[in-house]
Chains A and B, each alone.
Chain A
Amino acid sequence: DADVTQTPRNRITKTGKRIMLECSQTKGHDRMYWYRQDPGLGLQLIYYSFDVKDINKGEISDGYSVSRQAQAKFSLSLESAIPNQTALYFCATSDFGGEQFFGPGTRLTVL
């Protein structure tokens, strides 16, 4: 089944640590996205990439960076994690103008 996968699914880390969240997709889509979900705040866009050579900041990019290693892979890094980055993180993919397909999510806790 073509799908969107995320690793790890759960992660607990300490303040100041560097952490990487990974996303892979087998849908063949060019476009990939990273979102953060906090209760009552919906889905906030962190970074997005419309193709392998394209990286764009979203509405809440401060404290995050990304890498698009291939069409199928898009990683999100927290250079120095802080407690208010505790959240549920989703990766998503889409083709041009179409439905976004979400990964299962990564629950990140920063102590």
Chain B
Amino acid sequence: GENVEQHPSTLSVQEGDSAVIKCTYSDSASNYFPWYKQELGKRPQLIIDIRSNVGEKKDQRIAVTLNKTAKHFSLHITETQPEDSAVYFCAASMAGYSTLTFGKGTMLLVSP
């Protein structure tokens, strides 16, 4: 089955800095890679996703890159703000045909 590894497990940055979270996956058949944000005491919510037919996707201050050859994908957050503080999860699946396999999460702390 799929295995997703996520690094780092914790990340502390100053407000305005950039943050990068990296994930690797094992199953070359995976083609869907979402990122979820979970604020303290809340449910996980999708913030961005990428499919294997594109290498990069941006939405305002967040972007995701995908390297299919190396089987890794990354979340980039620019100009971080205190409200970006949360746990971020990456995941991988063969869209529609398999379930999501999640990484263990990264706790991002943005200090003012």
Contacts and interface: CB of A to CB of B under 8 A. Distances in A.
Interface centre among A59, A99, A103 (most CB of B within 10 A): A99
Contacts of B42: 104
Given A45-B99, A97-B96, A99-B49, A40 B44 contact: no
Contacts of A103: 43
Contacts, number: 42
Given A43-B102, A90-B44, A105-B43, 19 more contacts: A40-B9, A42-B6, A42-B103, A42-B105, A43-B44, A45-B100, A48-B99, A90-B43, A97-B32, A97-B96, A97-B97, A98-B95, A100-B34, A100-B46, A100-B100, A102-B43, A102-B44, A102-B45, A104-B42
Interface of A: 33, 40-45, 48, 58-59, 90, 96-100, 102-105
29 contacts: A40-B9, A40-B105, A41-B104, A42-B89, A42-B102, A42-B103, A42-B105, A43-B44, A43-B89, A44-B102, A45-B100, A48-B99, A59-B1, A90-B43, A90-B44, A97-B32, A97-B96, A97-B97, A99-B34, A99-B46, A100-B34, A100-B46, A100-B100, A102-B43, A102-B44, A102-B45, A103-B43, A104-B43, A105-B43
Interface of B: 1, 6, 9, 32, 34, 42-46, 49, 89, 95-97, 99-105
A33 B99 contact: yes
B33 to A, nearest CB: 12
Interface of chain B, main secondary structure:
loop
A58 B6 CA distance: 20
Contacts of A58: 99
A32 to B, nearest CB: 11
Interface of chain A, main secondary structure:
loop
Contacts of A48: 99
B96 A96 contact: yes
